[in-house]
Every structure is written in C-alpha cells, then in structure tokens.
Structure 1
C-alpha cells in the first residue's frame, strides 16, 4: 500500500509539473473538476484540501492566473464566490490523465462485477477513513 501511495504522489508531482502547477494547486483543481456544476466556494475548497482560507486565496489566484479557473459570484450570497473550471484547462488536464485512466480501465476489465464491487467498497471506505483521520488529526487553523 505504501508503494502505491508513493507512486501516486510522485505521479501527481510529475503531472503537476507538466500542467505548470504545484501539487496542491493541481489537487485543488481536481476538487473543482469533481464538483462539476455544483460549484465550490473558497471555503469548501479550503476544507477539502485541508488548507486555511488564507492559503486557498493564494491557490485560487495562481489557478486563475494560469487559466484553470474562474471565480463567479454566488447567486445566493454576493459576498461569496464560487469556483468554476475553465473548459480549455479541463480539456488539457483530461488529456494528460486519459492514458492513465485507459490503463486503469483495462486493469478493471480483469475483474468480475462482484470483485469490482468489493474494490469499490474498500476504496470508498478507505477514502472516508482517510478523510476522517485528516479531519481529526491534521485540520489546519482556519
């Protein structure tokens, strides 16, 4: 497990470099992509990335300058902004990840539906456990 995590960390660093970003900014852009049309606020992003609201401001400034995101006023509260992925940046990141995801899909093809259900369950539960641990032990001062 440690080798898998380490390999993914190194991979994220390489992909971030290809994208002209640092790993934290790439990770935050990933959260923006994951949110889709349910646009995140800066506070949402800070919580997901486990960074302070001050740090997320710098992250958003860098992502906006690099053409990855735009900030939109929150229709329910004009004091807040929501973060949207720029379509061209989304396409660039998808292009970088596409070969990796194709290989992952090939790997999943080796498993039965029941086995994939177990893998999905384990990965979901492990992700929840990791998020809970981070929340309990690594939460920054906001």
Structure 2
C-alpha cells in the first residue's frame, strides 16, 4: 500500500484498534510464556532483564520495574534460573547485592517463538513508506511514555478505583 491513500480513521477508531491489539498482546504473551515454560510475569521480568543490556539489574531494581515484592522476585529468578533463561551474579561493587544476568544462549529459544510474529510485522511495515513508519514509531514511543505515566498514577492511587 505504499504511496496509496489510506482509509480515514477517527481517534476513537484508532483507540479501539489499539485496545484490540493490547488484548491480543496479553493473550499472546501468555501463550508465548507457556510455550517457553514460563508464566507471563516471568516472561515480563525476562524482558526487563534483557532490556537492561550491559547494566544488569539488581533483584531490587527488577522488583521495582515489575512492581513485585523482593520476595516475589526471588521466585521469579528461581524459575528463570531453573528454565535456563537467567542466573544470579554477585554485584562486584557490593557483594551483598545480587544482579540478574540473562543467559545469552536462551535468547535463541525466545526469538524462535517470537520470530513468526516479527516476520508478519516486517511484511506489514513493507506496506508503509519510511515517513509513515517514522510516524508510527513516534506514536508508539509517545504512547509508551503516556502508559508509563498512567501506571505511575495508578500505583500512587491518583486514579479512581
């Protein structure tokens, strides 16, 4: 469809489409987690560990990112270690702290499960011009920040129940 006109859509239609995508994403994450021998919380924590890159997360930082107690993180890390996705490492700056390190060889197992979806998205992106993809990337970046702000408000109790 590159270069072709696109159907008009209202913000309400776009929000409805986003809601459907989020709902499917939740279902998909649960299915992917199950395929990998994890639960959705463990898979989310694994994503946080990988996102940390060269700056491994401490168990406390992972607990904060996942909005879990440190006790719950202990269970998550135990499961990730048993499944071969991550391991604990003493923090060289403070041996009392534990850092959580992703197992590089496990990434291939995760990528293999996600790859068919990413291939479909690649085909979908091929229908859009570079300028349109730039708008999408900008929107997703800004929408993620709006989501982070909303999550913080919910956690603080700034929103009605």
- If the length of structure 2 is used for normalisation, what is the TM-score? 0.81
Mapped contact 1:33–1:90 kept (Cα < 8 A):
no
Return structure 1 stretches of 4+ with deviation > 3 angstroms.
none
SS for the counterpart of 2:96 is strand
Aligned residue in 1 for 2:145: 128
Larger Rg: 2
Aligned residue in 2 for 1:55: 72
How well do the aligned residues superpose, as a CA RMSD in angstroms? 1.6
Aligned residue in 1 for 2:113: 96
Mapped contact 1:67–1:86 kept (Cα < 8 A):
yes
Aligned residue in 1 for 2:7: none
Aligned residue in 2 for 1:66: 83
Mapped contact 1:31–1:48 kept (Cα < 8 A):
yes
- What is the rounded CA distance, in whole Å, between the counterparts of 1:111 and 1:126 in structure 2? 20
Cα deviation 1:38-62 (Å, max 9, x = unaligned) = 2111122112212122211111111
State the 1:138 CA deviation. Answer: 2.5
Q: How many residues align?
A: 140
Say which is worse superposed, 11-20 or 49-58, in terms of deviation: 49-58
Between the two structures, name the one with larger relative contact order (CA 8 Å, sep ≥ 6).
1
- If the length of structure 1 is used for normalisation, what is the TM-score? 0.91
- What is the rounded CA distance, in whole Å, between the counterparts of 2:123 and 2:29 in structure 1? 21
Query: Are 2:92 and 1:75 aligned?
Result: yes
Aligned residue in 2 for 1:109: 126
SS for the counterpart of 1:20 is coil
Mind listing any 5+ residue stretches in structure 1 that lack a counterpart?
none
Aligned residue in 1 for 2:24: 7
